[in-house]
Structure 1
Amino acid sequence: MSEGDGADDEWSSGAEAGFIEPVPMEDDPAELFAGDTGTLDVEVRRVLVRLLQRRFLLAEKNPAQWRTLLENQQIVESRLHDLFVRLVVDHDRGVAYKQQVRSAELDVPILLKDDPYNRAETLVLVHLRSVFQRERGTGETSARVDIEELEQTVLTYFDPDDHNLARGQHEIRNAVKRLAGDGLIAEESAGRYRITPLVEVVLSTEKLTELSRWLHERNEAAS
Structure 2
Amino acid sequence: MSETDFCDNAWSEGEDAGFIDPVSMEEDPTELFAGDTGTLDAEVRRVLVRLLQRRFLLADKNSAQWRTLLENQQLIESRLHDMFVRLVIDHERGIAHKQQVRSAELDVPILLKDDPYNRAETLVLVHLRTVFQQERVAGEMSARVDIEELEQTVLTYFDPDGTNMADRQKEIRGAVTRLAREGLMDEETAGRYRITPLVEVVMSTEKLSELSRWLRERNDGTGHVVDDTMGDIAS
Q: TM-score range by the shorter chain?
A: 0.7 to 0.9
SS of aligned partner of 1:187: strand
Q: Which runs of 5+ in 1 are unaligned?
A: 1-22
- Provide the residue aligned with 1:179 in structure 2: 179
1:116 aligns with 2:122: no
- SS of the residue corresponding to residue 104 of structure 2 reads coil
Give the aligned partner of residue 141 of structure 2: 141
**Per-residue deviation at 1:84?**
0.3
- Structure 2 SS opposite 1:144: strand
Alignment of 1:198-217 (within 5 A): 198-217=198-217
What are the residue-to-residue correspondences of 1:83-162 with 2, within 5 Å? Answer: 83-162=83-162
Match of 2:52 in 1: 52
Is the 1:124–1:176 Cα contact (8 Å) retained in structure 2? yes
Conserved 8 A contact 1:129-1:208 = yes
Separation of aligned partners in 2, 1:90 and 1:128: 20
Cα contact 2:185–2:193 (8 A) shared by 1:
yes
Give, as a single letter, the amino acid of the residue that structure 1 aligns with 2:191: G
- Which structure 2 residue ranges, 5 or more long, are not aligned? 1-20, 224-235
CA RMSD, Structure 1 to Structure 2 (Å):
1.6
CA displacement 1:37-84 (0-9 Å, x = unmatched):
111111110000000011111111111111110111110000000000
Matches of 1:24 and 1:162, distance apart in 2 = 75
1:4-35 deviations in Å (ceiling 9; x for gaps) = xxxxxxxxxxxxxxxxxxx9438955211111
Check whether the contact 2:127–2:150 (CA below 8 A) recurs between aligned residues: yes
Q: Which amino acid aligns with 2:23?
A: M
Identity of aligned residues (%): 80
Moved more, 155-164 or 68-77: 155-164
| Equivalence for 2:23 | 25
Deviation string, structure 1 residues 177-213 (Cα, Å, up to 9, x no partner) = 1000111000000000000011000000011011011
Name the CA distance, whole Å, in 1 between partners of 2:130 and 2:30: 51
**Aligned ranges for residues 163-178 of structure 1 at < 5 Å?**
163-178=163-178
Q: What amino acid does structure 2 have at the position aligned with 1:198?
A: L
**Corresponding residue of 2:62:** 62
2:220 corresponds to 1:220: yes
SS of the residue aligned with 2:213?
Answer: helix
Please tell me whether the aligned partners of residues 29 and 39 of structure 1 are also in contact (alpha carbons under 8 angstroms): no
**TM-score computed with the length of structure 2 as normaliser:** 0.82
SS at match of 1:209: helix
Could you tell me which amino acid in structure 2 is paired with residue 55 of structure 1? Answer: R
SS in 2 for 1:220: coil
Checking the alignment, whether the CA contact within 8 Å between 1:77 and 1:86 is kept in structure 2 is yes
Show the 5 A alignment for 1:187-198: 187-198=187-198
Matched, 1:36 2:56: no
Give the letter aligned to residue 25 of structure 1: V
Deviation at 1:214, TM superposition (A): 1.1
Instruction: State whether residues 87 and 97 of structure 2, in contact with CA within 8 Å, keep that contact through their aligned partners in structure 1.
Output: yes
The answer to whether the 8 Å contact 2:123/2:154 transfers is yes
Does the aligned pair in 1 maintain the 2:121–2:172 contact within 8 Å?
Answer: yes
Instruction: Give 1:161 shift.
Output: 2.0
Kept in 2, the 8 Å contact 1:184–1:195? The answer is yes
Could you tell me how far apart the structure 1 residues matched to 2:149 and 2:222 are? 22
Higher mean Cα deviation, 189-198 or 27-36?
A: 27-36
Q: How many residues align?
A: 201
